[in-house]
């Protein structure tokens, strides 16, 4: 007679009550302690998450681990770096639990040098240039690319001989940021937005500094560097006296 071996899963050991540093931090920072106890385990957060299933994790599982005080699992899973912070989970949650904020706090628990190299490197490059470009595009290079692309469009595309792409225009109504991938590798991708602004008669400008729209320091969960980048962009807006700041990210 053939016997069937039955495997019993290892039990999950929960920490003692009140022994979670992560949960204590969450409760001190978020309104109503983050509302973690309101979770219905309905799964709506996981259903719309593009990272569900990766690293054997999903938003519902992550939330329950956090609520149960499983600090080691919550603060060590690489899944937190696959979250895009799109906030679909929060929008879907009937109890309005801020899961992305939990993930952000979990990221902060990692030593900076152990956070993903690509995100960390992009943040550091942005900090090292006045443009805040994660690709290291310098002010003079950005201006040169804009001028070259604009000249080509005006010369070759009918109906856009008077197209403009101003840089450092004082007193413009709108200050425009641009993802630095475009001037660095795909400069023609800047043109459609120029045409839209031109067609509606918008008064706008770039700056040669602080124009990069992306901010990898935010995704790195490095608050000080995130603030540094944002303040540099704000200074660029204020220096030109613009009324509105348009960030394309």
For residue 185, is it within any domain?
Answer: yes
For residue 16, is it within any domain?
Answer: no
For residue 6, is it within any domain?
Answer: no
Together in a domain, 27 and 64: yes
Q: How far is CA 57 from CA 54, 65, 89, 131, in A?
A: 6, 10, 14, 37
Q: How far is CA 34 from CA 10, 67, 120, 150, in A?
A: 30, 10, 28, 49
The tokens of 11 are what?
């039990």
Together in a domain, 125 and 35: no
For residue 14, is it within any domain?
Answer: no
For residue 96, is it within any domain?
Answer: yes
Together in a domain, 122 and 241: yes
Question: Which pairing describes strands 174-176 and 244-246: parallel, antiparallel, or unpaired?
Answer: parallel
pLDDT in tens, the chain (249 residues): 555 565 655 555 555 555 566 666 666 555 555 566 778 888 999 998 999 999 999 999 998 888 888 888 888 999 999 998 899 998 998 888 888 888 999 999 999 999 999 999 999 999 999 999 999 999 999 999 999 999 999 999 999 999 999 999 999 999 999 999 999 999 999 999 999 999 999 999 999 999 999 999 999 999 999 999 999 999 999 999 999 999 988
Could you give the maximum distance between any two Cα atoms of the chain, in Å?
88
Together in a domain, 239 and 147: yes
- The residue from 61, 86, 110 where one domain ends is 110
- The neighbouring-strand residues paired with 178 are 212
Q: What is the CATH number of the domain that holds 68?
A: 1.10.1060.10
- The neighbouring-strand residues paired with 175 are 205, 245
What is the number of structural domains in the chain?
2
Together in a domain, 235 and 177: yes
Together in a domain, 70 and 148: no
Q: How many other CB atoms are found less than 10 A from the CB of residue 199?
A: 11
- CA–CA dist 176, 88 (Å, integer): 27
Domain containing residue 170: 117-246
For residue 36, is it within any domain?
Answer: yes
> What does pTM read for this prediction?
0.81
């Amino acid at each position: 007679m053939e016997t069937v071996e039955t495997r019993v899963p290892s039990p999950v050991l929960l920490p003692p009550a009140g022994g979670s540093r992560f949960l204590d931090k969450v409760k001190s920072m978020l309104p109503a302690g983050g509302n973690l106890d309101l979770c219905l385990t309905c799964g709506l957060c996981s259903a719309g998450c593009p990272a569900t299933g990766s690293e054997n994790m999903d938003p519902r599982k992550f939330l329950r681990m956090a609520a149960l005080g499983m600090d080691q699992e919550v603060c060590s899973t690489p899944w937190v770096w696959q979250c895009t912070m799109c906030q679909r989970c929060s929008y879907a949650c009937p109890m309005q639990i801020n899961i992305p904020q939990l993930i952000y706090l979990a990221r902060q628990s990692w030593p900076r040098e152990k956070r993903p190299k690509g995100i960390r490197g992009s943040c550091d490059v942005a900090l090292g240039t006045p443009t805040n470009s994660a690709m290291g595009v310098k002010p003079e290079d950005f201006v040169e690319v804009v001028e070259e692309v604009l000249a080509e469009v005006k010369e070759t595309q009918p109906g856009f001989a008077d197209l403009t792409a101003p840089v450092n225009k004082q007193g413009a109504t709108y200050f425009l940021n641009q993802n630095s991938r475009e001037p660095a590798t795909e400069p023609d991708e800047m043109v459609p937005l120029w045409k839209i602004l031109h067609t509606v008669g918008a008064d706008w400008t770039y700056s040669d500094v602080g124009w990069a729209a992306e901010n990898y320091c935010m995704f790195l969960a490095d608050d000080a560097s995130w603030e540094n980048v944002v303040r540099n962009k704000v200074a660029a807006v204020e220096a030109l006296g613009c009324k509105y700041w348009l960030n394309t990210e």
